[in-house]
Amino acid sequence: MRIFHLSDLHIGKQLRYYSLKENQQAALTQIVNLAKERRPDVILLCGDIYDRSVPSGEAYAIFDGFLQELAEITPRIPVLIIAGNHDNPQRLSYASSFLEKHQIYVAAETPAKPEEYLKKVVLQDEHGEVNFYLLPFLKPGYVRHLFEEGVVTDYESAVRAVLSREQIDFGKRNVLLSHQFYTNQGQKPETCDSEQTVIHVGGLDNIDVSVIEQFDYAALGHIHGPQMVKAPHIRYCGAPLKYSVSEEFHKKAVTMVTLGAKHQEIRIESLPLVPIQEVRRERGLLKEIIGRATEENCHDFISVTLTDEKEPYRPKEQLEEVYDFILELRVDNTRTRNLLEPEEEGEILLKPMEAFRAFYQEMQSQPMSEEEEKIVAEILDHFSSTL
């Protein structure tokens, strides 16, 4: 059985206020074309379909168009979808009964009543049945009431308890869709800036991979960089686009899994996705960075770090003449490094106005004007008088 494993589409996401609509549509079109070419038996979407719990009308239209294109492929390819932590379960599950008639299965909420269980989809290939268990993102509080007191105390015990009550026959072939933060004996997967905000401080949401390692394949979402956790059959496929500068060197792709007979080793292929705009860093002297601009790279999303010792004149304006999408502008030279280095007696404690001057200088690469300083001083006086 050939499986397309996808996750973290984050439809509607912006990159530092720049729209990613065209980039996301281009990636989804490539996925549809790959599905037509490779003919997978099933497509898995493992959470964070949307970037916001209340998606825009535009985001709905993009995802709707994607599903329609997949549904038009013949013979029809089943699509299995779970909710991630960014998704609103009620909104994602809208019209799910209708979608099932088109072999699009959505699991947005965990079981809420004792008689409810995980959505299970059974598909067939030449080796027999494959059971797909759809486990949407959960927090302990979502399912604690289903068990005796003390059974569910954290994320790991919650997932373990939910899976245990399914009474899964692991003598058969079973595939899990899950959107959680799995670790291997405390060893965490590699994360990046675009998903750091959803990782709980102190590792409270960590789930040891032993909870799910009996599955023949665990299709995971939540982490934006493709990687396995402990073993090849437990895998984060990663996001289809670069959603932060920290993903500069990621190779975005569709993960295609070939599942054979029980106990047969799975085969994993990466089918590359080519972005219409790259996300990357530029570092060096202003004139060097400007000189590196070409027709091919000037439309990329770039993070710029200037190393000029002497502050250039209006560097951002000069950069904007050759680069269309500047995400941020930083300065790394002797002056800025000295500001960050602690003194022998202790760290430098800047007064509010001094701190804002330094911040403004770093962000704008020029000092504040007298009028701007006056405005900031008035704001600081107002807040200090209210404390």
Residue range(s) occupied by CATH 3.60.21.10 in the chain: 2-272
**Which DSSP string do the residues of 155-214 spell out, in sequence order?**
HHHHHHHHHHTTT--TTSEEEEEEESEEEBTTBPPP--GGGGGGSPGGGTTEEEGGGTTT
Task: Grade residue 371 by pLDDT with cuts at 50, 70 and 90.
Answer: confident
Alpha-carbon span 177 to 221, nearest angstrom: 8
Calculate mean pLDDT across residues 280-286.
Answer: 97
Q: How far apart are the first and last CA of the chain?
A: 64
Q: Which one, of 268, 271, 251, lies nearest residue 259 by Cα?
A: 268
Kindly tell me if the per-residue pLDDT of 157 is higher than 50: yes
Amino acid at 164: S
Q: Which one, of 37, 49, 123, lies nearest residue 73 by Cα?
A: 37
What share of the chain in percent tops pLDDT 70? 93
Taking residue 71's Cβ as centre, other Cβ atoms within 10 Å add up to 15
pLDDT of 346 reads 47
Calculate mean pLDDT across residues 12-34.
Answer: 96
Q: Which one, of 152, 112, 165, 113, lies nearest residue 136 by Cα?
A: 112
Please give, one letter per residue, the 3-state secondary structure of 309-373.
CCCCCCHHHHHHCCCCEEEEEEECCHHHHHHHCCECCECCCCCHHHHHHHHHHHHHCCCCCHHHH
* 39, two tokens: 């003919």
Alpha-carbon span 265 to 244, nearest angstrom: 34
163 contacts: CB under 8 Å, gap ≥ 6: 133, 135, 176, 211, 212
pLDDT of 282 reads 97
pLDDT of 210 reads 97
Q: What is the pLDDT of residues 102-123, one digit of tens each?
A: 999 999 999 999 999 999 999 9
Lowest mean pLDDT among 68-72, 267-271, 332-336: 332-336
- Opening angle at CA 105, ends 100 and 106, nearest 5: 120
2-272 folds as: Purple Acid Phosphatase; chain A, domain 2 (3.60.21)
